[in-house]
Amino acid sequence: MVRCSVAKPQDECACRSGKKYKACCGPLHAGEAVAGTPEELMRSRFSAFARGLGGYLVRTLAAEHPERALPEAELARELSRAKERQRFLDLSIVHTAEDGDRGEVLFYARIYERGEDCSFAELSQFVREGGAWRYASGVLVPSSRLPADPTSLDRAAFLALADQAAR
């Protein structure tokens, strides 16, 4: 029996930049480069989740992030397991902004777990520490509360949805 697959080529980066992994997130994951912008870090973190690179995900957390209080090896193992449970299908960057050592990225991530849609939009906050961008925090809205085209959201519309979801 011959099986056909429509999976993306193995060398295409999971962050959906359109670049090859070795020219995109690969150098960041290998520690050969650091993200130059919050968006670049966001993309590399999405790719790290898809590849099960828990150590990278821990290293790119801001010092103030609450998960930094957990044992590093245990957290890295848990974050690495996300790829076993979830399929990371798509990433759309909707908005980015930088102001000095602070930045933000609004994105939509299409993710499935056991056939169930777990997609979401998030407004992530980033800080530059020691010359490198780090993930500080995020406000998440599940796909069930998003418009039909989540990529049409702007920052203000997203924050209104997040406020409604919090009530």
| CA angle centred on 166, ends 104 and 37, rounded to 5° | 10
In the DSSP assignment, the letter for residue 9 is P
Q: Note the pLDDT tens digit of each residue in 43-55.
A: 999 999 999 999 9
The CATH number of residue 25's host domain is: 3.10.450.50
Q: What is the mean pLDDT of the chain?
A: 93
Q: Is 29 exposed, middle or buried (0-12, 13-18, 19+ CB in 10 A)?
A: buried
pLDDT digits over 9-57, tens only?
568 999 999 999 999 999 999 999 999 999 999 999 999 999 999 999 9
pTM above 0.95, yes or no: no
The answer to whether residue 105 is domain-embedded is yes
Mean pLDDT of 146-154: 95
How many percent of the chain have pLDDT more than 70? 94
Sequence-ordered strand ranges (E) for 24-162: 86-99, 102-113, 116-117, 120-129, 132-142
* Residue 63, domain member (yes or no): yes
Overall average pLDDT of the 109-134 stretch: 96
The domain tally of the chain equals 1
Of 103 and 167, the structure prediction assigns the larger pLDDT to 103
What local confidence, expressed as pLDDT, does residue 166 receive? Answer: 76
Query: Is position 7 within any domain?
Result: no
Residues 68-91 pLDDT 10s: 999 999 999 999 999 999 999 999
* Parent domain of 100: 21-166
Residue 115 domain-assigned (yes or no): yes
